[in-house]
Structure 1
Amino acid sequence: MTQRTLLRHLLAWVLGALAVVWLGFVAIGLRTGVHEADELTDGHLASTASLLLSQRGIEFVAARDASAPAEDLKRHDYQQSMSVVVWDHEGRVLSRVGDAPVPPFDTGEGFATLDLGQPSEPWRTFARWDSPEHRRRVMVMLAIDERDDLAWDIAGQVAEPGFWLLPVIALALGFAIRRGLRPLGQLSNDVARLDVRSGEALRADHRHEEFRAVVDSINALTVRYQAAMARERQLAGELAHELRTPLASIALHAQALDGALSDEDRRHAQARVAHDALRAGQVLQHLLTLARASHAELAEKAVAFDVVPMAARVLADHVQTAIDGRQELALSGSASLTVVGHELLLELALRNLVENALAHAPPDTLIELQVDEAGRWLQVINRTRHDGDAPDAAGVSRLGLGLGHRVVEKVVAIHGASFSEVARGRDERCYRITFGAAAA
């Protein structure tokens, strides 16, 4: 199926509208032509009657039948075959010229349409007395068919130029529209040749203001696309680097399991394989999370929602993990905090913070999620509740790769918020998400 073009669409509508308007003008022209021809004929009848009555010095001959004038006496295309009847005041026919039947005598004056002859035919007539004394009455007659022929001939002459001009105007309009759409065609070709992967910008030499807005929008999208691709390439490189270490460790310990190992070394190798497998799985999970964030930023519509129920749900999902690690979870602060954004993405970011806290905190640690409606922030605090120094990082089983915070940073950036670490006491770590006006 051939795709419709804008040129054909515009031509169809413009020429269709032109044809409708033109036909309307032609119809009005035909109607006006017929009306004016009728008026012209009536005026001719009245003029002929006045001319005959004004000839005072000419005596009317006795009544006689006069044949129609010879064809060679007609010298003009619009010459009409009129008939004239003259009566005296008693109704006697004094003179008769033309082939019209003699109409019945009456004393009326003016225009009339009479059916005369056998079979009857319509005639247009005009009657008039010569003076107030009513000595002579003149009637001038013309066949309706002849009058209509003249009317339609005049109307046709009026309307005919319109039918000849319509194709010419259609061709001129088609050329003008095609020429006027040439800049749009050039812009379309430039967009079709544009390679956003190479970072090439659309040329900005289009003179029309409407096209400048389109060019600027396309170039802005190209810049955003390049920036997004750069971020994704950087992240992919970091993920590949992070995956390389656990995968190499898994392969090394898997080979060691095939050798002669003591029971303790075998258990250690198996635990290391399981640990590295979890680490690789976490890297892949972060990759999927970032992919979902990119999709949501472009496709999903932001809505208003309450952060507190979401925070409670996240903590509830991690209760068993906290019990297994001999840690505690708590939710405190404001009863509600409404923001506008993507609830799923913020939940993913909050889960990353909670999971990171559970993975890094030693036993006997309170992990508290605090909400402040006035300050429009929520934060996750790790508070170690024992005397002495906090355990060294090497002594804690950590699966965090630093990628969890990258997920959080990307999600909060989508929502116009900020993510930062807040300075706390020696045994506390605090990470806060602050919502600004854009997320309110």
Structure 2
Amino acid sequence: MSQTQSKPSLRNRLLRHVLIPLAVTWLVGTALVVGIASYFAQQAFDRALLDDAYLVASHVRRANDASGGGLELSLSAQEMSTVLFDQSETLYFAVLRPDGSLLAGHPGLRPTRLQEDLKPMFDALDYQGRTLRSVTVHRQQPADFYVVMAQTTASRDSLLQRLLTFSVIPQVLLLGLLAAWLYRAIEEDLVPLAELETAVGQRDVRDLTPVPVTATTHDVQRLGQAINALLGRIAFSVQAQREFSGNVAHELRTPLAGIRALADYGLRHTDPQVWHEQLHGIAKSQERASHLVDQLLALALADEAHQDLEKTAVSLDALVGEAVLRYLPKADATGVDLGAKGIDHAVVVQGNAALIEGILNNLIDNALRYGRAHNGESHITVAVETTPYSVVLSVTDNGAGVPPDKLQQISQRWVQGAAGEALKAGVGLGLAIVGTYAKLLGARVALAAAQPHGLCVHVTFDKSSL
């Protein structure tokens, strides 16, 4: 038997959890009701039996002669028959002397013991093969004697059976009706769950569209929403993977083809100078391909970060200082004056250190690649400015800049500025990565022309999120 088959159904579990406690409660309640009713019925029967004993005792007189221990029963046989008459039970009586000898009544009818207490004593005794309910009354007037009155218990037993029957059968019928109603109600409430199970089970592995949910309860609705949210996250992740694979396949084709062409050209020549030139070109192409792969990976990781991003307090001044020091050797090698402003005091923002570092790396790298001045010295400034409502991170260069009509376009993927197109370097992902990272951090990116020429990129962090 499979594990699925060995598990009980939700419907049966709900029925058991409802009906079993209810049945036990009803059973205990019925037992209490029957017990209480039986107790008071026994009290009524015992009271009638005691009245008969008092009636017999009231007719015990002192005899006119000394025979019979000085006492006699003044009831005739006719009168005694009237006293002992019962339509459904047989009554027995005995009047006993203090020594237990029979004064009148049925021989052999006597309790297990005769007590001196004047309080009536109820008991069960066996007489002529029957179990009787008896009461013993002790009287001291006109002399000391005992009256034992007993009767059969058929009426008592019959009454108890009727109490049980008329108490249990309706309860069982009601429990059965309730079980049938619960079964149908639970079955109807579980229909949306079964439909959801069928929809998910029959869904193609490539179909990540939301599952239709017919919710009759809040719980089924929340389950459907959770499944659809999961499908949405999976679809987003799959789409990011597809885009990454497509981008890698498309963009790496050109540098790899260039590397192959350079290698083939070098192999066709025997001049070491040509080999040196081709190897230098291969190294440049490899550097461009590595940079492209790094950027594509950064975009893929940024897309994945949409799922879950934890923000903490980050020292922006420290990150800016580290980034400037990290790129300073490259800036010196290319003759660029790289500096920082506004980091002489602590500046803290709520964000993610890795993403802010990625923003700085891409902006500084872009400025070093495309922001060098055509004439004169090249300057790149990384600045941090604090305003009453925000913290602004900016990277400014004095290069050729970007025409105003292209400022919005170059922040899109695969779009390059004139400098990038002229240098045949990069693929237009740097600012797209910056925009994606900023969106994850809840920041805003703005591009503006620097004066007198160049490009300034602002990343604004609202203080409301600090």
TM-score normalized by the length of structure 2: 0.70
Match of 2:392 among 377, 393, 397: 377
Match of 2:342 among 333, 336, 347: 333
Match of 1:249, as an amino acid? G
Match of 2:367 among 332, 338, 357: 357
Match of 1:372, as an amino acid? E
Change (3 A) 1:394 1:231: closer
Match of 1:406 among 424, 429, 432: 432
* Alignment length (residue pairs): 417
Match of 1:60 among 75, 87, 112: 75
- CA distance in 1 between partners of 2:51 and 2:421 (Å): 131
**Between the two proteins, what is the percent identity of the paired residues?**
19
Give the secondary structure class of the aligned counterpart of 2:455. Answer: strand
Match of 2:391, as an amino acid? R
1:265-304 matches, within 5 Å, as 265-304=274-313
> Do the aligned partners of 1:382 and 1:430 also contact (CA within 8 Å) in 2?
yes
Match of 1:345 in 2: 355
- CA distance in 2 between partners of 1:159 and 1:290 (Å): 75
- CA distance in 1 between partners of 2:200 and 2:464 (Å): 33
> Do the aligned partners of 2:359 and 2:434 also contact (CA within 8 Å) in 1?
yes
Match of 1:8 in 2: 9
Change (3 A) 1:398 1:327: farther
Match of 2:24 in 1: 23
Change (3 A) 1:74 1:207: same
- CA distance in 1 between partners of 2:107 and 2:311 (Å): 93
Give the secondary structure class of the aligned counterpart of 2:307. Answer: helix
Change (3 A) 1:230 1:29: closer
Match of 1:389 in 2: none
Give the secondary structure class of the aligned counterpart of 1:369. Answer: strand
> Do the aligned partners of 1:416 and 1:438 also contact (CA within 8 Å) in 2?
no
> Do the aligned partners of 2:241 and 2:300 also contact (CA within 8 Å) in 1?
no
Match of 1:408, as an amino acid? V
1:154-193 matches, within 5 Å, as 157=165, 160-161=168-169, 169-170=178-179, 173-193=182-202
> Do the aligned partners of 1:360 and 1:398 also contact (CA within 8 Å) in 2?
no
- CA distance in 1 between partners of 2:143 and 2:193 (Å): 80
Change (3 A) 1:362 1:332: same
1:363-421 per-residue CA deviation (whole Å, 9 max, x = no partner) reads 9534322122323221122247xxxxxxx948996743211112112222222222221
Give the secondary structure class of the aligned counterpart of 1:298. Answer: coil
> Do the aligned partners of 1:415 and 1:438 also contact (CA within 8 Å) in 2?
no
Shift of 1:140: 3.3
Structure 1: which 5+ runs fail to align?
A: 63-68, 385-391
Give the secondary structure class of the aligned counterpart of 2:306. Answer: helix
Match of 1:281, as an amino acid? S
Shift of 1:209: 6.1
Change (3 A) 1:337 1:127: farther
Match of 2:380 in 1: 367
- CA distance in 2 between partners of 1:61 and 1:108 (Å): 27
Give the secondary structure class of the aligned counterpart of 1:23. Answer: helix
Answer yes or no: is 1:49 the counterpart of 2:50. yes
Structure 2: which 5+ runs fail to align?
A: 60-72, 78-83, 400-417
Match of 1:246 among 245, 248, 255: 255
Change (3 A) 1:332 1:5: farther
Match of 1:424 in 2: 450
- CA distance in 2 between partners of 1:369 and 1:124 (Å): 111
